[in-house]
Structure 1
Amino acid sequence: MKTYSIQQINDILQGEIVGNTTENITAPEQLEAAGNTEISFIGNKKYEKLWENSKACAAIVNEDIAIEPGENKAFIKVKNADLAMSQVLELFAPPAPLFAVDIHPAAFVDATAIIGNGTRIGAGSYIGPDVQLGDNVTIYPNVTILDECTIGNNTILWPGAVVRERCHIGNDCILHPNSTIGADGFGFRPDPQRGLVKIPQIGNVILGNGVEIGANSSVDRGKFSSTVLGDGCKIDNLVQIGHNSKLGKFCIMAGHSGLAGSVTLGNGVIIGGSASIKDHLTIGDGAIVGAGSGVASDVPAQKTVLGYPAVDAREALKQWAILKRMAKN
């Protein structure tokens, strides 16, 4: 079991220690559940009131904290407690699942596939013809990578992930369990004789570097050309990204949100949970779409929209205030 003194942890965080604890810290934990050898964090002043009853021996806190740590307890003051806590979590993180051999004998690797140095492939995985895997790629059991795909260096694919033919994944990406890259886009047209006619989806998906796709999320291939996610995009669980959508760099999509086809997101766009974006819209750089919103028109850069249908956040709050007053009358 890993243990650290408060000073050892601060050597990494480079914060300011307030108070002191003689306890060796054995794990990070939330305030309410922490034991007396565990470290917690206070990332918002509204949680200061929970410290009094917490058994944690230490906490990482923002510089503006207004309380004292108490007897045999310590705070590490930092500029951003959330970011600092991520460093502590890395300290205590258990090792990743082990590979007894680099390429499990129960994996199928086509003879034409190119496998980089240090790449590992788990049991039951399928690596198709002309696939190229970079260096230090980790493919856990039961992953499928179909023909002519490329996977960049240091990328991790967790069990059940599927990358369909001709898709390209960048360096340092993470595909969580059962995520699907390159499924057919949802393209059908009515025909009087044949009913709903399927439109062939002959494009692909391109993920930039440092992209993370959550469990059970789907990024559909383009009808033609590519569905593209720029560098650093972070996609939560159960997210749908429709065919031919284009995401800029460092976009965030929270769980249950979705983009219809041919949506364009600028750089740094944030889409809240369960929000939905109509097809062929553009969301400008730095815009925010609030949780549960339904976007039916373009959103300018840096704008925050809320509601269903989504409008400027300030306008939405005014509308809600009026409705609340009307309900009281």
Structure 2
Amino acid sequence: MKNPSKSYSIEELCKLLNGSLIGYTDQQISEPEQIESAKESSITFIGHKKYISLWENSNASAAIVDRSLQLTDPGPNKAFIEVGNADLAMAQLLELFTPAAVKLVQGIHPSAIVDETAFIDSGVTIGANSYIGAGVKIGKNATIYPNVTILDEAEVGDHSVIKPGTVIAERCIIGHYSILQANVTIGSDGFGYRPSPDGRGIVKIAHIGNVVIGNQVEIGSSSCIDRGKFSSTTIGDGTKIDNLVQIGHNCKIGRACLIAGSCGISGSVTIGDGVIMAGQVAVKDHVTIGNGVTIGGKSGIINDIPDGKTVLGFPAVEAKETLKQWAIIRRLAKKG
């Protein structure tokens, strides 16, 4: 839902975004919108050449455009705000138009259950029907939405936000300024089983470790992070994890990583800093992925990857090699 109470002139937006104005519009801008769906009161985005052809038929009065595209003629009563990076400018603009946050009753809702041994710091909000177990510590100004479960001796850092339905299991630790979206599960048992000695069943292996999540981490809805078998599964500061991601026991995820939706990371995987993992990547257990690695969508990682590599495919190899293989297969298919 847009925020109709906010509107800006094109000059105001240009100044806020530190851009260069090309053309002019006297239309007040009250919403950002996709180029195909925009109205006269909209500002849209042209960050790639494939969107240039859509501008002619767009109803938007303004667009943020990437300087590399060298666009010069927005049309009558229309304007471009030229910036060095359209994606980052879009992020700034969306902050301007972000609607007010969901209103929760400040303090502890009467229906919440908070163990008498839990430590609740100042400014904390705990929503309806949440459960806070024995020995839990919740830091300053943290927000716990309704129907959250935080089990014994877990910790939530200052200013962190825990959305509805999330479960933080016993002894797990969430850092400061982190966000856990709806229905996240932190600290499930790891997937550890062995055949029984008589060969007639399966023995479950206990997992007695925990999960430690750093500061400014964001975890998407319905993602699961398993506790360590012996020690901790860890997520480094600033890492962002999308929806429906599975991270197995004893994984070590570095700082400032981006892990897209539906990735599956097996147990005891080590991932360095600044790794980018596209959607539906599968990672074999005990693999080490170096710093700054980029992994293409639906790739299968079965071997260690050195720092800085870009890999793709199943099994994943260097992206250039995979693209060559695909080209050869296409040529063979045409000959057939």
Give yes or no for TM over 0.5: yes
Q: What is the Cα deviation at residue 192 of structure 1? A: 3.4
TM-score for both structures, normalised by structure 1: 0.98
Letter in 1 for 2:322: A
Letter in 1 for 2:333: A
Aligned residue in 2 for 1:111: 116
SS at match of 1:64: helix
- RMSD between superposed Cα atoms in Å: 1.0
Correspondences of 1:1-329 after superposition (within 5 Å): 1-67=5-71, 68-193=73-198, 195-329=201-335
Q: Deviations over 1:291-320 (max 9, x none)?
A: 001111101111111111111111111111
CA distance in 1, matches of 2:119, 2:13: 42
Q: Deviations over 1:216-263 (max 9, x none)?
A: 000100011000000011100000000000011011111111110000
Q: 1:197 to 1:151 in 2, by over 3 A?
A: same
5+ residue gaps, structure 1: none
Q: What is the Cα deviation at residue 101 of structure 1? A: 3.4
Q: Deviations over 1:19-61 (max 9, x none)?
A: 1111111111010000000111111122111111111111111
Letter in 1 for 2:11: Q
Letter in 2 for 1:51: W
Q: What is the Cα deviation at residue 85 of structure 1? A: 0.9
Q: What is the Cα deviation at residue 90 of structure 1? A: 0.9
CA distance in 1, matches of 2:238, 2:19: 27
Letter in 2 for 1:116: D
CA distance in 1, matches of 2:314, 2:224: 24
The runs of at least 4 consecutive aligned structure 1 residues that moved more than 3 Å come to none
TM-score for both structures, normalised by structure 2: 0.96
CA distance in 2, matches of 1:161, 1:291: 27
CA distance in 2, matches of 1:195, 1:281: 29
CA distance in 2, matches of 1:49, 1:254: 29
Q: What is the Cα deviation at residue 180 of structure 1? A: 0.6
Letter in 2 for 1:94: P
**% identical equivalent positions:** 57
SS at match of 1:40: strand
CA distance in 1, matches of 2:142, 2:323: 47
Q: What is the Cα deviation at residue 187 of structure 1? A: 0.4
5+ residue gaps, structure 2: none
Q: Point out the more displaced range, 211-220 or 110-119.
A: 110-119
Letter in 1 for 2:63: A
Q: What is the Cα deviation at residue 100 of structure 1? A: 2.9
Q: What is the Cα deviation at residue 11 of structure 1? A: 2.3
Q: What is the Cα deviation at residue 138 of structure 1? A: 0.8
Q: What is the Cα deviation at residue 87 of structure 1? A: 1.1
Letter in 2 for 1:203: G
Q: Deviations over 1:254-289 (max 9, x none)?
A: 111111000000101111111100000000000111
Letter in 1 for 2:324: K
CA distance in 2, matches of 1:145, 1:75: 48
Residue 175 of structure 2 contacts residue 215 of structure 2 at CA under 8 Å; is this kept in 1? yes
CA distance in 2, matches of 1:93, 1:41: 17
Q: What is the Cα deviation at residue 66 of structure 1? A: 3.3
Q: What is the Cα deviation at residue 65 of structure 1? A: 2.6
Q: Point out the more displaced range, 58-67 or 208-217.
A: 58-67
Instruction: Count matched residues.
Output: 329
